Structure 1
Amino acid sequence: MAHICGPEVVKYACHCGLLRSISQLYFCRHCSKVRCSFCVCHEVDSIFCGKCSENIPSAEARVKKNRCSNCLVCPSCQQELWPRVAATKTSANPDEPKQVVKKMHYLLCQFCRWSSRDVGIPDQSSVTGFPDRENVYANRLQEVLDAYKAVVLAQKQAKENEKKKQRKKYLSYTDITGVTAAALRKRIGLPADRTHPLLKNKPKKPDNAVAVEEVDDLPEELFTEPVNLLEVTSVDQRLLYPEAQPVKMDKLFPVHKQLSIKRSLRCRACEHNVSKPEYNPNSVKFKIPLFAYYHIPDIRIVTVEPLRAGQTSELIIKFTNPTQHQTVVSFLEIALDEPEEPEIKEVEETMDSLNIQEKQHASLPSMTSTSQPSSLLSLGSHRQPMITIKPRQIFQTLNSTVEIPTSTFILPPRDDAAEFDDSGDTHNIQDDPKLVKWRKSNKAFIRLSVTPQEGLELKTEIVCGFAMKHLYTNTIFTQQPQKYEHKVKVFLTLGNLVGSE
């Protein structure tokens, strides 16, 4: 028997047709679907520095070009630079022999041992006083940027004038809503003040780039002296300075550390969050962690017999129940071209409760004219999906068949204390001995039979698949948890085909 490990040998099928490991998937409890990173909307919650853990507003981060103003990284290996203290003796009066010890700071990389002294940066009296490399093209870039800003504002102003001409015979938007003209201009992206410098005084148009006919000759050192690769910068090192792109290592300067973000993920169908981290950059916890390995049984390959073409091999896989509720797992035949059920799923119990609330509200006298119907109030916590995502076909080639068992097996709820219990409690579950080989706590080892197709070449990668149906308990409704059967397609990479005995 061969032991197979690794996260990529067991893949689950997302609703969009992509195959991912369970650690890369999310599970939306509102629409009861498996989501991958392409099926969710990515939203930036906060921007922070990964070294000093300082939260930075988005406007300030945009001005600083998404770089931290305090932290620096090594220009050679892009690791963090740390300040070091060096004691130097100085004399206030040259006539007096008495010297004063002064502490000076320099930067050192603990990974590649690059130092700020290697490029001639003088030591500083403070940690944050290291100079930045000046951009020789700063004025040119600012002129081009101002010119493009003026073009964008002019286009927005032209669109606003066209809309005013079209609605001359109708009431003004500001007359109906009471919104001021300045607030309306700010909402559509124009300056609130009409005396803005970009509108009043247009910036000077930048000069066109002119080609130079005379080019300096190459230095003779390139042809006479051998190339020392330790003194020449790599492509990654040059791209850290897009405005200078130094060629020699002695021209490298420390780079400000790039900022990191914390993002929240939102389901595209029902617009509910599936992942939302804490705002504090020092915290690694999540406010909403709807990851798939918290809700869907985890499958791992334990052992598999040598795979031979046309011969049946025994496969043992482990199922783990991550939830606090008991589940029942069964196997189904997999169909790659069969579309899944529609995205929008109606809940009869929820709709019945909404109808009862509407009838009760209709029988009560109206209190005020601003009261909203109970259907709108009740739908606030149970929002229906707004976008229907069509399932796609799964492009995966299967070159082996799995004998689908007809019986089912039970997975008890997860119990953290049971991991340290060696009594072997099986919860008095009557299992099929042909299907369940061994179980402990919330884990069960299942025996399956796999038969590779005939005519396959040696060392061909064998892939099999089946559909797993398990009983899922949705606790999003606190009054009465809902139970329903959830189906997901699983694909296993068993290894390479071997020769006959």
Structure 2
Amino acid sequence: MAYLFQPDYVRYACSCGSLKPISRIYFCRHCLKIRCGYCVAHEVDSHYCPNCMENLPSSEVRLKKNKCSNCFDCPCCFQTLTIRAGHAPIRPAPISTGDDVKLTPKKVYYLCCSLCRWSSRDAGIPDQYVATGGWPEQENPQASRISALIDFHKILASRERQQQERKKFDPKRISLQFEKFGLTSAMARKRAGLPVVSETKGQQVDFPHPSIASENVEELDESIFTEPVDITKITTLEQRLQHPEVQAEKINELRPQHKKFLAKRSQRCRACEHNVSKPEFSPQSIKFKIQLAAFYHVPEIRIVTFQPLQVGKTSELLLKFCNPTQHQTRIILLPFYTETTATTTSASGEREELKHENIQLGCESPNLLPSAVRQIMVTEDPKPIKIIPSASIELPASPLILPARDDAAEYDDTVDTYNFQDDPKLVIWRKGNKAVLKLQIMPYDPEKGKENEPVIVGFVMQYGYVNTIATLEHKTPQKVDLKVKLFLTLDKLCGKV
């Protein structure tokens, strides 16, 4: 994988118009198009604690407020706290003989950070006699106010649901709807002379007192201006925002925070609703059930080296091509303004444009839920690419053939058995499924104010792809020619000739 920890030198144009490196894009095998993070829908599969690897469903995570009950984070450096064991002396009851009483140690547990050496003893939290938990939690001073607001809005939501049900009431079927709205019991109480119970009697709640803005601000303590300030004892802004309901001002007031759950996500194509990435359910596994990353299906291009760039002077550019698939591919470099529509070979041997109905789709939608229940995919129109290449490139007329990927050949130093009739002026190196091409580029005269910007080279790469998804219409693998637009960011200009 190229340039994981470096700037994006080689960028691929996504179907939505955004430019991403090959390590950050997907390839949908059903649409036969490149998808980036904006072209896929993100779905949460499971929640888990990154420390104890506890896996919980979404309902329990919501009840626990997305926090693990067993693991804690350091309030100073936000690292995971560990449980340490110690001994606390306990004085037994005195003996009547008057002899000296020996101290018997007892095992206790406390929280400690192995990075900044913060411990629960620094905050005055008492030690626990059980290692499994029982640590006291800091209460929210506004807990009663928050619970009152939540209860009030729950009552409002239930009343709105009842009003919506009354609107659906059919007057033609009154006898069948009496019991649904409690009319039968109300009429019976009225005939017996009893008072009618209101429907919302059990849901009545006092309106919470609104917050009143005040212009009076408490005056600052005089000690702020007279006593020296010790920055080491004052919390930082990041430490205060880590616990927003309390926001302690001093270090000794900080309390350990419960570790937050992480989520495993799956990505789904917005066009065909097929998964392009789906991890395994277990939090201890790093494998994927479905992983359609682009570097498994699209040829990868790396910049090997290039000569110093000067305006009006031809420079050599060495590009390395790699075929990641299990089938031989044929690569053709086309001009920058070539259309990127996919093509295929018909039964008569003629080239034709690949239409949507000819694409091998396993089914119309893999989501078995009805359309009224499942999430509706929101798609956007492709955005135009505003980047214009600042150098011309001399593209080869002959295609480049790359054999299939062979993992064993990576460590084989013997001569390759492939007998490709390559032009030595074009292909200067080849090994296995990799080859290096030598191209000629010539930078343009930059516009005013863009002299210090790097030179960008653009072209379209056409490559052969074998779609192995079997359907009723296509029982054999379908061979298509796909096109993708690439942008190569080179160095700045050295000067004019």
TM-score (norm 1): 0.82
- Alignment size in residue pairs: 450
Asked whether the 8 Å contact 2:306–2:317 carries over to 1, the reply is: yes
Give the superposition deviation at 1:238: 0.9
- Which residue in the other structure is 1:295 paired with? 297
Name the structure 2 match of 1:107: 111
Verify: 1:32 aligned to 2:32, yes or no.
Answer: yes
Aligned counterpart, 1:57: 57
Deviation at 1:381, TM superposition (A): 8.0
Q: Determine helix, strand or coil for the equivalent of 2:110.
A: strand
What letter corresponds to residue 32 of structure 1 in structure 2? L
CA distance in 1, matches of 2:496, 2:141: 70
Structure 2 distance, partners of 1:53, 1:5, is 28
**Which secondary structure state, in structure 2, belongs to the residue aligned with residue 401 of structure 1?**
strand
User: What do residues 104-145 of structure 1 show as CA deviations (whole Å, max 9, x unaligned)?
Assistant: 111111122221122111211123121111111111100011
Task: Give the counterpart of 1:412 among 403, 406, 415.
Answer: 403
SS class of match (1:396): coil
Contact 1:105 1:126 in 2 (8 A): yes
Identity within the alignment, %: 46
Alpha-carbon distance change, 36 to 120 in structure 1, aligned in 2, over 3 angstroms: same
Counterparts of 2:78 and 2:437 in 1: how far apart (Å)? Answer: 48
- Structure 2: which amino acid aligns with 1:75? P
- 1:266 Cα deviation (Å)? 0.8
Q: Which residue of 2 aligns with 1:497?
A: 493
* SS of 2:239 mapped into structure 1: helix
Residue of structure 1 in register with 2:139 after alignment = 134
Higher deviation after alignment, 113-122 or 462-471: 113-122
1-side partners of 2:363 and 2:14: how far apart? 31
Residue 346 of structure 1: SS of its match in structure 2? helix
Give 1:112's aligned amino acid.
C
- State the alpha-carbon separation in 2 of the partners of residues 205 and 387 from structure 1: 39
Residues 284 and 382 of structure 1, relative CA distance in 2, 3 Å threshold: closer
1:150 matched to 2:131? The reply is: no
Pick closer, same or farther for the CA change 1:213–1:394 going to 2, 3 Å. Answer: closer
For residue 152 of structure 1, give the secondary structure of its aligned residue in structure 2. Answer: helix
> In the alignment, is residue 424 of structure 1 matched against residue 415 of structure 2?
yes
2:374: which partner in 1?
Answer: none
Q: Report matched runs for 1:392-411 at 5 Å.
A: 392-411=383-402
Q: In 2 relative to 1, CA 134–276 (structure 1 residues): closer, same or farther, beyond 3 Å? A: same
Instruction: Tell me which amino acid in the other structure corresponds to 1:487.
Output: K
Which one-letter code corresponds to 2:160 in the other structure?
A: Q
Match of 2:316 in 1: 314
Mapping 1:54-453, distance limit 5 Å: 54-95=54-95, 97-127=101-131, 128-162=133-167, 164-165=168-169, 168=171, 200-212=202-214, 215-335=217-337, 345-347=356-358, 390-425=381-416, 427-453=418-444
**Aligned-pair CA distance for 1:181:** 7.8
1:471 lines up with 2:482 in the alignment: no
The 2-side partners of 1:317 and 1:171 are apart by: 79
Kindly state the Cα deviation for residue 461 of structure 1 after the two structures are TM-superposed: 1.1
In 2, Cα distance between the equivalents of 1:4 and 1:125?
48
| SS class of match (2:122) | helix
Q: TM-score when scaled to structure 2?
A: 0.83
- Kept after mapping to 2: 8 A contact 1:300/1:319: yes
Contact 1:31–1:343 under 8 Å retained in 2: no
> Cα distance, 1:46 vs. partner?
0.7
Structure 1: gaps spanning 5 or more residues: 175-179, 183-194, 352-376
Asked if the contact 2:340/2:483 (under 8 Å) is kept, the reply is no
**Corresponding residue number in structure 2 for 1:185:** none
Structure 1 CA distance for aligned equivalents of residues 241 and 398 of structure 2: 60
1:19 maps to 19
Q: Which runs of 5+ in 2 are unaligned?
A: 182-196, 343-352, 369-376
Q: Are 2:273 and 2:365, in contact at CA under 8 Å, matched by a contact in 1? A: no
CA distance in 1, matches of 2:381, 2:32: 15
Residue in structure 2 matching 1:461, options 444, 454, 463: 454
Aligned residues of 2:427 and 2:436 also touching (Cα < 8 A): yes
Please tell me whether the aligned partners of residues 405 and 432 of structure 2 are also in contact (alpha carbons under 8 angstroms). Answer: yes
Report the alpha carbon displacement of residue 434 of structure 1 after superposing the two structures with TM: 2.6
Higher helix share: 1
Contact in 1 for aligned 2:4/2:23 (Cα 8 Å): no
